[in-house]
Structure 1
Amino acid sequence: MKPKILVFSGSTRKGSYNKMLAKLVSKHLTHAKADVTTICLSDYPLPLYDGDLEENVGIPENVFKLRALIEAHHGIFIACPEYNSSITPLLKNTLDWISRIQLPDEEPLQVFQKSVYAVGGATPGVYGSMRGLLHLRTVLEMSLGCLVLPEMISINFAAKAFDENGDLTKAHHAKRMQKLVERFVKEASHVKLQDN
C-alpha cells in the first residue's frame, strides 16, 4: 500500500529552516513511494484558543479542515522549531484547537490516534530543536495519545545545514533523515484509515 503522509512546519516565517526541512522530508518521502501532502499553517489561520470564544462563536472552520487532513493521512510529519526551549505558539494553538473537536460516537482525541507521527526540527544553534522536539513529543504522546516514532531528525547549525538545492550538507544528518523516512513509510503503510 502507498501510504498517504501529511507534512507541515510549526513555523510560517519566510525563510524558516523548518519549512525547508518539511520540504526536504516531503521530497524524501516521495522518493520512498509515499503519497505526500505538504501544507502551510498560514493557509489555515486560527484565533488564539479561548474557551469563551469556543462557547460563544464555535470552533473555526479551519480547525475542521485541519482535522479532516489528519484523518485522511496514514502518517503526519511535523517540523518543529524551538522557541525558548519549547514549541511554537502557532503549533501549540493548532493542536489545541483540533483537540476540541469530538464527533458523535467518538472517543476523546480519537483523531490523533489513527495515524502514526514523526517529528524533526532545525535551529541555528547547537541543540537542533531537540528541546522543542521533546516538548512536542510530550504534547503528542502524553496529552493527545499519538503514536510517535522514536526516530527524529534534529538539524543544528541550520544556516549551514542546507545546500543551494535544499539538501542536507552533513552526512550524519542525511543518514538520520534516511533512517526516519524508511521507518516512517514502513509504519504508515500498516495504518488502516477509516475509509480504507
Structure 2
Amino acid sequence: MASEQESLFRKEALEQVSSPEQLDQLMQVVNLRDWLPLASIGFLVTLALLWSVIGRIPIFVESKGLLIKNRSDSSQLTSVSYFPIVEGKQIQVGDRILIIPETNSIQEFGGLEATVTEVSPSSVTQASALKRVDGNLELAELVYTPASIEVLAQLKPNPENVTGYEWSMSKGPSEKLSGGTPVTARVTLSDRAPISFVFPFLK
C-alpha cells in the first residue's frame, strides 16, 4: 500500500507538505489593499440597505393654480388651485403647500411657503371657479378642470423679502408678485420608505 502512495505523489511534494517549516510557504496572505475594493462595495451596499429602510421619499401631488387677491385684505395675495378629486380629498386644512409661480425659477427660488386654509367638500363647478377670479373666463379656463377639488392657501408673510412672502429657497425674486399669476401648487400627501416600493407590505 505504501509503495502505491509513493507512486502517486512525488517525493519532493511529500517532503514539502510534511515539513512544518514549509507550511508558511503554502499560505498566501492577501494584501490589505486587495481587500479595499471589496470592503468599499460592502460599505456602499450597507448604506443603501439602511437608506431603503430609514430613508423617506415624499409622495406629493401637483395641480395648476393662480395667485389671487385676498378678499379680506386686497393688499395680500392668496392662492387657489384645483386638484383631482381623489388627491384633493386627502388634502386638509393646515397642510403645508408649496406655491410655485410660473414666472420664477424653482431652481433659483424654490416656491412660496403657504398653508391650506380651505378645501371644498366636493367638486366645484366652473361657475364657482369664475367667481374666484372675478369672472375672468381666460384665467378660470387656465386652471380649472371638471370634477376637481378647490384648495385655497394663505401665503406665509415675510416683510424682509421684496415680494413680502417667505420662499423655500433664498429670499425670492427682486420683483413683487401680482394677482392672476399662474402657479403650480404642490402638496405632500405622505412619505414612504424606499424599500416599500419593492415590498408594498412594508409601508
Flag whether TM exceeds 0.5 (same fold): no
Relative contact order higher in (CA < 8 Å, ≥ 6 apart):
2
Structure whose alpha-carbon radius of gyration is higher: 2
Query: Which TM-score applies when normalising by structure 1?
Result: 0.21
* Bigger fraction of residues in helix: 1
* Bigger fraction of residues in strand: 2
Query: Which TM-score applies when normalising by structure 2?
Result: 0.20
